Structure 1
């Protein structure tokens, strides 16, 4: 894996400025979808489940990624935010290969994105779903829809616990199934 941050920040930032059409092409040309995707990546890498990703990125790119615990991105110090954004740009330079390589090395699977599933635009969701899904049990969207209909019919609350119990899924798989159903149907969850 080639590392470009060792050569300095200027070249990396220069590619962002001069190659912005390439980044927009990831999203079909929509700036809002690019922003939403970058925001979701910031949340996943900088969030509570992103410790291994931060460690791998920090070692690989030789930059510190040590957030203040419990603070959102906007409230972190400037150096941390700058370093995290450099990592995001670096990932986007060779999308989706770099994200997949880093996630595999950090053992960061699809279920770790479950907190951000509703925020993920298709250009990220499809990569995660197709490349980082290591769950032993998967259910089609039709099976999840059918399970939700049954739970509603039987008067049960629709939450990850009830869906997981009905489908025989563990916590992360159940949360992912519920979040994918919510994202597909845009229905509120209890």
Structure 2
């Protein structure tokens, strides 16, 4: 297969198709095993499918696909997550986790993380089955078309979805379609008996809002337009609060009393990132966030006040300093949850000191602090009245 000429069979990427799905379909169309197709197209050692090619696709891979399939470079790039830079996240890291993108784990491991989800009804109704890029977004847990929860494993053998392993150990011609058939048991994943119907309008409406935000680049919350990047950044901070068991026990108890996050709170898992959680727990988190944003920020502020949850716990989620907290989240949190420390003025301190000297004839640190309504006196005040204090 020449890299500077069109391939004889060259299906274009479908709407919202993910890169790994397209590469698998290209290999299938050529009548080649996936490893053979990648070797002939990019050479030995390219290891195209060994990592997360959807996230970390190299330029030479995309360029070869553009030249050999006749697709435009825009079509090719749209199969990756690069177009979401500046909307969903600031930039793509070179490895490891990416905000809001589900984690697949090591592709060379059979027992990999279940980060690739799908809707069986969508695959069954497709003329050409393919995996959507939307299905790898961590906040997408349901199919808005069929109103069913996505699944991330084979309904027959419970194997995690791994479309790049469909031709391992067996002849690829006997393994069924790589998109619709399980790589372990070779049975059809799109049987009609799978899929949990979602009747929760809060979850469906909130997911629709987030998908719309990603498409248009902004969202209207409580009558205020908010940039999509800043909105998703602040939303992830709230998610991290719900997942942090060290500092947010009081807030989690508040949700539990309302009948929310029951599975998440009782889950013994040590995973602390939204991107690596099972789809059932992610769905529960999104349902809770949808409930909060039905009346933002009143429900969030009311619950935090009830559980005595201060702003410092949320501001700790900022990577570097408090300036990293988006203004739409910082404003209500600071105004209603920030515990301000009272600092009396010099005039108030002088008046209190004069009162104690006039009525009791002596000045004590504890009595002065009690009159001023503070628990301790700062160093400047102690130095000013050092000669007048009778006892410590």
TM-score range, shorter chain: 0.5 to 0.7
Match 1:105 to one of 294, 298, 306: 306
1:76 shift after superposition: 2.7
Q: Deviations over 1:43-65 (max 9, x none)?
A: 12221322221221122034413
- Find the aligned partners of 1:107 and 1:81 in 2 and give their Cα distance: 26
Structure 2 unmatched runs, 5+: 1-197, 344-377, 380-392
1:96 shift after superposition: 0.5
The answer for the alignment partner of 1:60 in structure 2 is 258
Higher relative contact order (CA 8 A, sep 6+): 1
The question of whether the paired residues in 1 share the 8 Å contact of 2:261 and 2:285 is answered with no
1:85 shift after superposition: 1.7
The answer for the alignment partner of 2:337 in structure 1 is 132
**Equivalence map 1:1-190=2 (5 Å):** 10-16=200-206, 24-26=219-221, 28-47=225-244, 48-64=246-262, 65-66=264-265, 67=267, 68-69=269-270, 71-117=272-318, 118=321, 119-137=324-342
- Find the aligned partners of 1:62 and 1:53 in 2 and give their Cα distance: 11
1:9 shift after superposition: 5.1
1:70 shift after superposition: 5.5
- Find the aligned partners of 2:243 and 2:261 in 1 and give their Cα distance: 14
Q: Deviations over 1:109-165 (max 9, x none)?
A: 011123124442100001110010123247xxxxxxxxxxxxxxxxxxxxxxxxxxx
1:92 shift after superposition: 1.0
Structure with more of its chain in helix, by fraction: 1
User: CA RMSD of the aligned region, Å?
Assistant: 2.9
> Which protein shows a greater Rg?
2
- Find the aligned partners of 2:287 and 2:300 in 1 and give their Cα distance: 14
- Find the aligned partners of 1:107 and 1:91 in 2 and give their Cα distance: 17
TM-score by length of 1: 0.59
Instruction: Tell me the SS of whatever aligns to 1:24.
Output: strand
TM-score by length of 2: 0.30
Q: Deviations over 1:7-35 (max 9, x none)?
A: x8521123325656799113624211111
The question of whether the paired residues in 1 share the 8 Å contact of 2:261 and 2:288 is answered with no
Aligned residues: 133
**Structure 1 residues 30 and 108, CA gap change in structure 2 (3 angstroms):** same
